[in-house]
């Protein structure tokens, strides 16, 4: 059990039946009335940020959440199967809990947020950028780089991304997994 005096950036608390990390906080002592702590909290599962004010001395449930590396093995009817890279323990994570799942390929390493006491996976995310091979796209036109026009392309995981006109089949491209946007061509 922690109090408002223990609040710090990055701290994870249980609040309103959810897990939240403290993004920022400010201890306010007005000239008139009691002191309070103004916070910005980010929901661990959804990423939604909310502002909340706590009175000084309020008890908070601090939660321990760990980041653990897992390697993707395969997908079956149960979900996505992963192996912990250090203990070789295998777990199944549902598709809805993985951020950027459409860019996941066999052997990729993800970071899973795990509730330390209950050992449940809250969510998992790929690295911010991945390198994938283009499997299908319309042929590009030589010298057509003056405009900022994009065309659809399918990558090796089956996901569709928008790429510049000069990208052809078989090329490796870098993709931002957070929004699915094209970052650049990889040599």
Mean pLDDT over residues 103-108, rounded?
Answer: 91
DSSP string, 143-165: T--SS--EEEEEETTS-EEEEET
Among 3-12, 45-54, 114-123, 145-154, which is the least confidently predicted range?
145-154
Gap between the Cα atoms of 126 and 98, Å rounded: 8
Q: Is the pLDDT of residue 81 over 70?
A: yes
Gap between the Cα atoms of 47 and 130, Å rounded: 21
Regarding whether 93 and 76 lie in a shared domain, the answer is yes
Gap between the Cα atoms of 72 and 91, Å rounded: 10
Full domain range(s) for residue 146: 130-186
What is the average pLDDT score of the chain? Answer: 88
Q: Which of 125, 150, 176 is the last residue of a domain?
A: 125
What is the helix (H) or strand (E) element at residue 176, kind and residue range?
strand 172-176
Q: Which of 73, 98, 125 is the last residue of a domain?
A: 125
The pLDDT, as a whole number, for residue 148 is: 77
Q: In this structure, how many other beta carbons lie within 10 angstroms of the beta carbon of residue 58? A: 14
Residue corresponding to tokens 């991304």: 161
The pLDDT, as a whole number, for residue 118 is: 85
Regarding whether 54 and 7 lie in a shared domain, the answer is yes
Regarding whether 120 and 69 lie in a shared domain, the answer is yes
Regarding whether 45 and 10 lie in a shared domain, the answer is yes
Q: How many domains does the chain have?
A: 3
Regarding whether 113 and 98 lie in a shared domain, the answer is yes
Token pair belonging to 1: 């059990």
Regarding whether 117 and 135 lie in a shared domain, the answer is no
Q: Which of 43, 62, 81 is the last residue of a domain?
A: 62
Instruction: Tell me the pLDDT tens digit for each residue of 138-178.
Output: 886 666 666 678 889 999 999 999 998 888 899 999 999 88
Gap between the Cα atoms of 24 and 146, Å rounded: 43
CATH number at residue 15: 2.30.30.30
Distances (CA, A) of 124 to 8, 92, 94, 164: 24, 11, 10, 30
Q: Is the pLDDT of residue 95 over 90?
A: no
Instruction: Tell me the pLDDT tens digit for each residue of 46-61.
Output: 778 999 999 988 899 8
The pLDDT, as a whole number, for residue 146 is: 62
Regarding whether 166 and 179 lie in a shared domain, the answer is yes
Regarding whether 144 and 98 lie in a shared domain, the answer is no
CATH number at residue 157: 2.40.50.140
Token pair belonging to 84: 């912990």
Q: In this structure, how many other beta carbons lie within 10 angstroms of the beta carbon of residue 108? A: 16
pLDDT over 90 for what percent of the chain?
Answer: 41
Q: pLDDT: is 144 or 93 the higher one?
A: 93
Strand order in the sheet with 12-15: 2-3, 59-62, 12-15, 18-28, 36-43, 49-55
Q: What are phi and psi of 97, to 5 degrees?
A: -95, 0
The pLDDT, as a whole number, for residue 144 is: 60
């Amino acid at each position: 059990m922690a109090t408002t005096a223990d609040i710090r950036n990055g701290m994870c608390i249980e609040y309103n039946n959810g897990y939240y990390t403290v993004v920022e906080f400010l201890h306010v002592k007005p000239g008139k009335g009691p002191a309070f702590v103004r916070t910005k909290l980010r929901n661990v599962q959804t990423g939604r940020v909310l502002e909340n004010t706590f009175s000084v001395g309020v008890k908070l449930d601090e939660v321990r959440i760990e980041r653990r590396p897992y390697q993707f093995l395969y997908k079956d009817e149960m979900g996505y199967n992963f192996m912990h890279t250090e203990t070789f323990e295998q777990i199944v994570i549902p598709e809805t809990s993985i951020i950027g799942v459409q860019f996941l390929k066999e052997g990729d390493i993800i970071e899973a947020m795990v509730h330390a006491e209950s050992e449940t996976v809250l969510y998992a995310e790929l690295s911010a950028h991945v390198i994938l091979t283009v499997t299908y796209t319309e042929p590009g036109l030589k010298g057509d780089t003056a405009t900022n026009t994009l065309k659809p392309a399918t990558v090796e995981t089956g996901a569709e991304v928008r790429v510049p006109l000069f990208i052809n089949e078989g090329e490796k491209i870098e993709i931002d997994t957070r929004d699915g946007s094209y970052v650049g061509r990889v040599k």
